[in-house]
Chains A and B, each alone.
Chain A
Amino acid sequence: METTTEFILNEELVKTAEPKVLTLLDFIRYRANLRGTKIGCREGDCGACTVLIGRRMGDEVFYESATSCLTPLGNVHGKHVVTVEGLNMDKLNRVQQAMVDFSGTQCGICTPGFVVSLCGYVLNPQKELYRSAKDAVDGNICRCTGYKSIERAAERIDIELANCSDGPRLKQLIKNGFIPNYFEEIAKRLKEIEPQQAPTNGAKPVGGGTDVYVQKHDKLQTMDIALLAMDENKNRVHPQNGQLIIDKTATATDLMKSPDLINTIPAWYDYMKLISSHPIRNIGTIAGNLVNASPIGDFTIILLALGAGLEIENLEGNLRRLPLKEFYFDYKQTDLKQDEIISRIFIPIPKAEKFHFEKVCKRQYLDIASVNTAIKISVEADVIVDINLSIGGVSAVPLYLKETSAFLLGKNLNYNNIVTAESVMQKEISPIGDARGSADYKRLLAKRLFFAHFIHLFPEIIKMKELV
């Protein structure tokens, strides 16, 4: 692995020989001495350490928020990292001013994270990712305000943004006091940084870091890690022959804004919103979610129902393919060999099939599911001609509901078959009690979410009243 990491931190070019596995958070606070980035939880759940990471694509830089506590330093090579200090100007920027005007800050420790997240939105308010500025702070926890004042600040930011829509975005934002003017030079300056190739040695591969750094950030620093996500300044998701091809470093955000999924799955945005938060989706990789093998992994459950396939590559560069539903053996046991990684993922782009995803947790957003489940189904003349069902949180693995899917295939879509299928599902699952619910609850919830698929997708035919 190359030893130096080179990036722009706010206005300064940084070249550092610090270990690439060091968290960006620790680098920012304890090496660069920028203390505006706060430590809240070190597991991506509070957003106090949020920074912006700017990735150059041609002559433009795309900014995304990220939790610096889960970001390996090596992953920002060739990028622009912006902390709250890098958003400061002589007077408060418009986002900061809105937070002040609406009393959006009390104790202040979460405030830099909120400001950074909102500035990320201001720089790149794509409609595929946000409905309004409020959505930008879905990864930020505030324990003081009750959020209403922050909501009001976000509303004002939207109003002010609407008033500066003419001309090149960056120039407009600078002119209107949203961001400092040094941002204009960043694209040019990033071009001068030599790209680094991701290492291909046999050390433990790490993608975005959003799982492996959680509660294990100390241990990682003593391990030999190969970072996969370095220098990926290109589109990482693209369609080909009716399939979506997903690179190993593609993030959840890449998938969230995929036009092929947005156009074929009407509620795609709503489903994606249920999965973690902007700063996590921006750095967490899809491949990592699959390899992590969490029995409750949201993307795993979605991709199981979508009928995804994997391309697996070993150190010699040999490739093999495998359907995702054959990938999991037992708790955290997958088909992946020691020297293999997932190199690509293929998703058949839905055509006539209907898709739905359900997830219930203690908190609707940014929480781990008690149970999650997905369905892809095709019905012709009331007969189910194609069906994939998957469910998480009720088994040692993210479960493809093989028996249940097989039972329903070729059957009429009616109450009787759905109720019988539910009892087939109960035999396939084996939930245990944990912090996310008792086993009894998970069985009951699985039943209800199973019904919810049909109630949601076929509201004219299937009604809740007949099922419970």
Chain B
Amino acid sequence: MDGIEAIFLHSDIPGANQIGGIVPDEPLFAEDELHFRGQPIGLIVGKSELLCRLAREKIELQYDELPVITDPREAAQKGHLIVPPRTFEMGNPDQIWSECAYVFEGKADVNGQEHLYIESQGAYAWPKEDGCIFVASSTQGPTAVQKTVALVLDIPMHKVEVNVQRLGGGFGGKEDQATAWAVMVALAAFSLGRPVKFSMHRMDDMLMTGKRHPYSSDYKIGLSKDLKILAYEATHYQNAGAAADLSPAVLERTLFHSTNAYFVPNVRATALSCKTNLPPNTAFRGFGGPQGKFIIECAIAHAAEKIDVSPDTIQRKNLLSEGDIMSYGQKMEGVLATPTWEECEKLYGIEEMKTEIADFNQSSFRFKKGLAVQPICFGISFTNTMMNHARALVHVYHDGSVVVSTGAVEMGQGVNTKLLQVACETFGISPDRVKIESTNTLRIANTSPTAASAGADLNGKALQMACNCVLDRLKKVAEDALGTDNISIRDNKIFSGDKETPMSWNELVQLAFSKRVSLSEHAHYATPIIHYDKSKEKGHPFAYHVYGTAVICVTVDCLKGTYHFDSVKLVHDGGKSMNLPVDNGQIEGGLVQGIGWMTMEELLYDKKGRLMSNALSTYKVPDIYSVPKEILIAHFDSDGHELAIKKSKAVGEPPLMYGLGAYFAIRNAVKAFNPAANLEFNAPYTPEKVLMDLCKKQVSTTFQDIQVEDAGIS
């Protein structure tokens, strides 16, 4: 075809046909078997994007159909596991059940979530001299790209330069899954000796890339007469998709968060990473934590409904306290579960809200309101201890301007703003003097991905160290020049004690330069105190935890099954926030993303593993009208934590989990209309499920049996 330059297949790969991050189980291009619909077979390179897409239509693929598994429980039954199961244990639930006043068992399902970063996946590459290659990638993990390009091209890592300017949204979807596309363009550019660019069409992106993991879980919860949770058992079947990707790590975080913000003395949580024929599921804001939390919230709601108390009564009674031990052995310090809850009660009046809602529901037949309280407790650090390190490179140029490079990737979360603040505040200079550079593997090596909410902490700490090293040298120069030993820098000026000296920042830098003092520094930071022993499943994996409590109110139209959120009022423990607008943006954005996951965002695969929700017309994310009418954020006044950058706690992931309350608020309203119905736990709570639950006695249905007759847009 005219304008088509080349088609690359697995046989064109000079090195390894392998892109698996944790487990080497994922080829770049399929060889003999396809394990999921949307698995790449080859790359078409041509003069334009349109030509390549038209060329693709001309390719006919002949294949034999193999059996398809989409259900994680079926995969587990057949023994298709990505890695061996893991179990976190504390106490012994088996001995406790008989002592419990109440024991409830059940099953809960929670679906996955499409990242829907507005900028789709993409990368471009060009060859450099000496067999080197430059790759610009929209990735959260430049080192993963660099490593994999080297492996696939069979060249050492030092020949691969990966540069990341910024991302049009990531949310975890570009932590590992940006790699394949970057490697493909690198392969093409390397082989053709020309620049090659690829940016994914939205429908390809939705079809081919993995998402948040769907989970199907069994739970068992035992409570005492006074509603203390004595024992909790959960078995999580994680739908990993066709390859490991980050699933084993996601699985681990589910176990770490299987009791959310509650203290349970006897816990056994098991998780199985089940291999199915779906695209390999991957990181997504919360990384398995939200699924673990959802399941225990289901268990609590189940218990509350049977005992006939409000779920928040059980939640409140079981919040973590200072010094409690988690199932993974970490002794909890700086616990703010109860204080944020109490602050929430004090500021917003949870009990008054409940009374108002009860009154409203009494007088309204068609519209019912529901409320849920959602406490969160989220551990900060990569659960894989070895990943908790970062580096920063600072150059002060002799004109006084500063350039900063770190391993952090800006994807809208505001990490560059925070890094800028760290540099400016450490040096005592204004933001116009500092430039935060792109993330580049030649400047900063061996980076961990920007993930786990830890980007600002790890890279900020490294930057602080680098700036302080340069600052100490500059101060020494100033001391010598000014003959005083109490030097500080503020507002681009040099102070001796409280007294301004005639020396400016620029003059000091110039002076240091002339005295042959180093104006550059490369610093390395590794989080202290954390450790974890996988063989015992015990340790101290998290630097600290983030807490908070949210109250969510919803109104359900019981005629139509539709709903809208009246308010979300929350108290968040952000420590000493170094930038409130940035942190509030993360809180509001995370919350709304969480609400979307629990409500309208519905991934639909048919039994053959074909994605039916394959476009923005069939997969809906919140728009401006579907967000809560009112979102109130209060910051809990706390000291923060020494391991948080400037005591400003990590904020990327935790707020998403306030959104879990959306599910239980709707359920609360549905129960107000249809109290007798025996409802399943199956998120998201789409208007379809709501209407079906409102009418549960009248109509029987199975949600799973969706036939594909009209999957596209009509």
Considering the chains assembled together, what is the distance between the CA atoms of A437 and B203 in angstroms? 21
Interface flags for B393-423 (1: CB within 8 Å of A; 0: not) read 0000000000000000001111000000000
Q: Which of B319-327, B337-345, B521-529, B683-691 contacts A (4 or more CB under 8 A)?
A: B683-691
Residues of chain A with a CB closer than 8 A to B592's CB: 145-147
Residues of chain B with a CB closer than 8 A to A127's CB: none
B621–A107 CB distance below 8 A: no
Query: What distance in Å separates the Cβ of B256 from its nearest Cβ neighbour in chain A?
Result: 26
Query: What distance in Å separates the Cβ of A264 from its nearest Cβ neighbour in chain B?
Result: 25
Name the one of A41, A137, A148 contacting B588, with C-beta atoms under 8 angstroms.
A148
A138 part of interface (Cβ distance < 8 Å)? yes
Considering the chains assembled together, what is the distance between the CA atoms of A221 and B48 in angstroms? 13
Given contacts A107-B118, A368-B714, A441-B701, contact A141 B706 (CB under 8 A): no
Residues of chain B with a CB closer than 8 A to A218's CB: 50, 53-54, 57
Given contacts A362-B602, A365-B626, A438-B706, contact A221 B50 (CB under 8 A): yes
Considering the chains assembled together, what is the distance between the CA atoms of A236 and B167 in angstroms? 43
Interface flags for A346-375 (1: CB within 8 Å of B; 0: not) read 000000000000101111111110100000
Query: What distance in Å separates the Cβ of B232 from its nearest Cβ neighbour in chain A?
Result: 32
B169–A432 CB distance below 8 A: no
A457 part of interface (Cβ distance < 8 Å)? no
Query: What distance in Å separates the Cβ of B583 from its nearest Cβ neighbour in chain A?
Result: 10
Residues of chain B with a CB closer than 8 A to A144's CB: 169, 412, 585, 589
Considering the chains assembled together, what is the distance between the CA atoms of A150 and B691 in angstroms? 32
B624–A151 CB distance below 8 A: yes
Considering the chains assembled together, what is the distance between the CA atoms of A147 and B712 in angstroms? 28
Q: Give the residue name and chain of the A residue nearest to B588 (CB).
A: A146
Considering the chains assembled together, what is the distance between the CA atoms of A366 and B622 in angstroms? 10
Query: What distance in Å separates the Cβ of A453 from its nearest Cβ neighbour in chain B?
Result: 11
Residues of chain B with a CB closer than 8 A to A109's CB: 117-119, 168-169
A68 part of interface (Cβ distance < 8 Å)? no
Considering the chains assembled together, what is the distance between the CA atoms of A77 and B170 in angstroms? 38
Residues of chain B with a CB closer than 8 A to A295's CB: 714
Considering the chains assembled together, what is the distance between the CA atoms of A278 and B115 in angstroms? 25
B593 part of interface (Cβ distance < 8 Å)? yes
A38–B618 CB distance below 8 A: no
Q: Give the residue name and chain of the A residue nearest to B614 (CB).
A: A435
Name the one of B119, B582, B622 contacting A103, with C-beta atoms under 8 angstroms.
B582
B117–A434 CB distance below 8 A: no
B118–A110 CB distance below 8 A: yes
B707–A107 CB distance below 8 A: no
Count A-B pairs with CB separation below 8 Å: 219
B559 part of interface (Cβ distance < 8 Å)? yes
A434–B706 CB distance below 8 A: yes
Given contacts A218-B53, A221-B50, A438-B706, contact A43 B626 (CB under 8 A): no
Name the one of A221, A366, A445 contacting B560, with C-beta atoms under 8 angstroms.
A445
Residues of chain A with a CB closer than 8 A to B53's CB: 218
Residues of chain B with a CB closer than 8 A to A141's CB: 116, 118, 616, 621, 623
Considering the chains assembled together, what is the distance between the CA atoms of A363 and B564 in angstroms? 10
A433–B621 CB distance below 8 A: no
Considering the chains assembled together, what is the distance between the CA atoms of A279 and B203 in angstroms? 21
B118–A143 CB distance below 8 A: yes
Considering the chains assembled together, what is the distance between the CA atoms of A40 and B561 in angstroms? 31
A451–B691 CB distance below 8 A: no
Name the one of B115, B166, B620 contacting A363, with C-beta atoms under 8 angstroms.
B620
Residues of chain A with a CB closer than 8 A to B589's CB: 106, 143-146
Given contacts A214-B617, A464-B366, contact A46 B118 (CB under 8 A): yes
A-facing residues in B497-511 (Cβ within 8 Å): none
Given contacts A214-B713, A363-B620, contact A146 B118 (CB under 8 A): no
A45 part of interface (Cβ distance < 8 Å)? yes
A-facing residues in B72-114 (Cβ within 8 Å): none
Given contacts A144-B412, A438-B705, contact A138 B623 (CB under 8 A): yes
B711 part of interface (Cβ distance < 8 Å)? yes
Given contacts A296-B714, A360-B561, A468-B559, contact A438 B167 (CB under 8 A): no
The main secondary structure of chain B at its interface with chain A is loop
Q: Give the residue name and chain of the B residue nearest to A103 (CB).
A: B581
B560–A452 CB distance below 8 A: yes
Name the one of B199, B559, B602, B706 contacting A452, with C-beta atoms under 8 angstroms.
B559
Considering the chains assembled together, what is the distance between the CA atoms of A464 and B166 in angstroms? 53
Interface flags for A434-454 (1: CB within 8 Å of B; 0: not) read 111110110011001101100
Query: What distance in Å separates the Cβ of A247 from its nearest Cβ neighbour in chain B?
Result: 25
A-facing residues in B519-572 (Cβ within 8 Å): 559-562, 564
Considering the chains assembled together, what is the distance between the CA atoms of A150 and B618 in angstroms? 25
Considering the chains assembled together, what is the distance between the CA atoms of A451 and B600 in angstroms? 24
Query: What distance in Å separates the Cβ of A28 from its nearest Cβ neighbour in chain B?
Result: 15
Query: What distance in Å separates the Cβ of A301 from its nearest Cβ neighbour in chain B?
Result: 12
A140 part of interface (Cβ distance < 8 Å)? yes
Given contacts A143-B171, A294-B714, A468-B559, contact A40 B118 (CB under 8 A): yes
Residues of chain A with a CB closer than 8 A to B414's CB: 106
Residues of chain A with a CB closer than 8 A to B616's CB: 40-41, 43, 45-46, 141
Considering the chains assembled together, what is the distance between the CA atoms of A40 and B202 in angstroms? 7
Interface flags for A26-47 (1: CB within 8 Å of B; 0: not) read 1000000000001111110110
Residues of chain B with a CB closer than 8 A to A412's CB: none
Question: Which of B118, B171, B695, B712 counts the most A-chain CB atoms under 10 A from its CB?
Answer: B118
Considering the chains assembled together, what is the distance between the CA atoms of A421 and B511 in angstroms? 91
Question: Which of A109, A148, A452 counts the most B-chain CB atoms under 10 A from its CB?
Answer: A148
Q: Give the residue name and chain of the B residue nearest to A358 (CB).
A: B560
Given contacts A215-B615, A435-B711, contact A465 B365 (CB under 8 A): yes
B276 part of interface (Cβ distance < 8 Å)? no
A138–B54 CB distance below 8 A: no
Q: Give the residue name and chain of the B residue nearest to A396 (CB).
A: B710
Given contacts A146-B589, A448-B561, contact A435 B624 (CB under 8 A): no
A323 part of interface (Cβ distance < 8 Å)? no
A444–B365 CB distance below 8 A: no
Residues of chain A with a CB closer than 8 A to B600's CB: 362-363
B699 part of interface (Cβ distance < 8 Å)? yes
A177 part of interface (Cβ distance < 8 Å)? no
A134 part of interface (Cβ distance < 8 Å)? yes
Name the one of B54, B202, B584 contacting A41, with C-beta atoms under 8 angstroms.
B202
A202 part of interface (Cβ distance < 8 Å)? no
Residues of chain A with a CB closer than 8 A to B201's CB: 42
Considering the chains assembled together, what is the distance between the CA atoms of A363 and B585 in angstroms? 23
B137 part of interface (Cβ distance < 8 Å)? no
Query: What distance in Å separates the Cβ of B398 from its nearest Cβ neighbour in chain A?
Result: 32
B588–A364 CB distance below 8 A: no
Q: Which residues of A contact B (CB under 8 A)?
A: 26, 38-43, 45-46, 48, 103, 106-110, 134, 137-138, 140-151, 214-215, 218, 221-222, 294-297, 358, 360-368, 370, 432-438, 440-441, 444-445, 448-449, 451-452, 455, 464-465, 468
**Cross-chain pairs A/B with CB under 8 angstroms, 10 sampled:** A40-B202, A40-B616, A107-B119, A109-B117, A138-B624, A143-B117, A146-B627, A218-B50, A435-B706, A438-B706
Q: Which residues of B contact A (CB under 8 A)?
A: 50, 53-54, 57, 115-120, 166-171, 199, 201-203, 365-366, 411-414, 559-562, 564, 581-582, 584-585, 588-593, 600, 602, 604, 612-613, 615-618, 620-627, 631, 686-688, 691-692, 695, 698-699, 701-703, 705-714
A45-B617, A438-B702, A448-B561 given; name 20 further pairs at CB < 8 Å. A40-B118, A41-B202, A42-B202, A43-B202, A45-B615, A103-B585, A107-B167, A143-B115, A143-B589, A148-B627, A149-B588, A215-B615, A218-B54, A294-B714, A363-B626, A368-B714, A370-B688, A435-B706, A435-B711, A438-B688
The 8 closest A-B pairs by CB, nearest first: A107-B412, A109-B168, A146-B592, A45-B616, A106-B412, A146-B588, A294-B714, A363-B620
